[in-house]
Amino acid sequence: MTAEALRHARYVVTENPVTLVAFTLFTLLVTAALFGPLLVPYDPLATNTLVALQPPSWDHWFGTDHLGRDVFSRVVVAARLDLAIAVSAVALSFVVGSVIGSIAGYYGGWADRIISRLVDTVMAFPLFVLAMGIVAAMGNTVENVVYATAIINLPFYARMARAEVNVRRNAGWVAAARLSGNSGARVLACHLFPNVLPPMMVQVSLNLGWAILNAAGLSFIGLGVTPPTPEWGIMVAEGANYIVSGQWWLALFPGLALMLAVFTFNLMGDGLRDLIDPQRRT
């Protein structure tokens, strides 16, 4: 990364307090995901029935669950799996959706009709119900949760890329690129796509939050990650059974972690757009 790019990134992050808060929270989430198992005081899978259902204390900051596992350790370690699912699913849907959407918007014709009908077919279903059906049909694994989440997010990028490319494909600078001898694929990849990327960054940020919610929701109803793997949705589902009896901390803290992650990604959208937008570098 060049010095100019570093200065631009520092300016974008520091000029807006909301963006600064968002990237600070994002740094904390990434730190928890990368180094969580090394930072937590207890093994997140270790059980000890002698301290089961203990409320928050100095020994166990978030209390313990019904098997005596430390809730704080499980919440921190769960960030790795939830973020990995969200990033993998969004990256897959972004790559595939932006490619097919750009092709549909640039070339039009039958390519546009076929791709648009496929995207409309996916959007015709309630997205979470569609994800449930995909996971139930393919099997209850982390990989299938990623695929299901990617499929329901793909139409957002395909539609946005198609619309943005379609608006710009007849612009003067695109015609100049064609007259310079560039092929259609090169014009699309090197000239059009970099200019449609900034608005898509906002969608990426929002989809990261939705992907985490989707993965947690699937785990909550028993179609996602299976116990005893630490995962926020599973922990909320297990803790919900104990709220009535007064063990509020079992569902509260993983729920707060889930809310914080979604809140962080929702705030990051404008900052990501400004980092990518070529016009902001002038």
Mean pLDDT, residues 73-90: 93
Looking at residue 13, its pLDDT comes to: 64
Question: pLDDT band at 5, cuts 50/70/90?
Answer: low
- The overall longest dimension of the chain from CA atoms, in Å, is 77
Percent of the chain's residues with pLDDT above 90: 29
Question: pLDDT band at 9, cuts 50/70/90?
Answer: low
Report the alpha-carbon distance of residue 261 to residue 33 in Å, rounded: 12
Contacts of 161 (CB under 8 A, 6+ apart): 97, 98, 99, 100, 101, 102, 105, 196, 200
Looking at residue 71, its pLDDT comes to: 93
Report the alpha-carbon distance of residue 26 to residue 94 in Å, rounded: 20
Distance of CA 241 to the CA centre of its chain: 28
Looking at residue 275, its pLDDT comes to: 64
Q: In CATH, what number does 3-281 get?
A: 1.10.3720.10
List pLDDT tens digits, range 234-278: 999 889 888 888 889 999 999 999 999 988 888 877 666 666 655
Does residue 19 have a pLDDT over 80? no
Mean pLDDT, residues 54-74: 91
Name the residue ranges covered by the structural domains of the chain.
3-281
Mean pLDDT, residues 52-67: 90
Residue 269 half-sphere exposure toward CB, CA atoms < 13 A: 15
User: Which residue, 183, 193, 233, is CA-closest to 82?
Assistant: 233
Contacts of 25 (CB under 8 A, 6+ apart): 260, 263, 264, 267
* Tokens standing for residue 115: 């791709």
Angle between helix 142-168 and helix 71-107 axes, rounded to 10 deg: 40
Report the alpha-carbon distance of residue 69 to residue 79 in Å, rounded: 17
Does residue 189 have a pLDDT over 90? no
**Do 19 and 267 touch, CB atoms closer than 8 A?**
yes
As a whole number, the mean pLDDT across the chain is 85
Output the pTM of the full model: 0.84
Looking at residue 257, its pLDDT comes to: 93
Looking at residue 276, its pLDDT comes to: 61
Report the alpha-carbon distance of residue 57 to residue 145 in Å, rounded: 35
**Choice between 173 and 38, residue whose per-residue pLDDT is larger:** 38
Report the alpha-carbon distance of residue 20 to residue 177 in Å, rounded: 38
Looking at residue 256, its pLDDT comes to: 93
Strand pairing partners for 70?
Answer: 64
Lowest mean per-residue pLDDT among 16-25, 39-48, 151-160, 200-209: 16-25
Looking at residue 252, its pLDDT comes to: 92
List pLDDT tens digits, range 123-180: 888 888 999 999 988 888 889 999 999 999 999 899 988 888 888 877 777 778 777 7
Looking at residue 193, its pLDDT comes to: 80
Mean pLDDT, residues 93-108: 89
Q: Phi-psi bin for 216: left (phi > 0), alpha (psi -120 to 50), beta? A: alpha
Backbone angles phi, psi at 228, to 5 degrees: -90, 15
Report the alpha-carbon distance of residue 142 to residue 223 in Å, rounded: 10
Looking at residue 106, its pLDDT comes to: 84
Looking at residue 205, its pLDDT comes to: 82
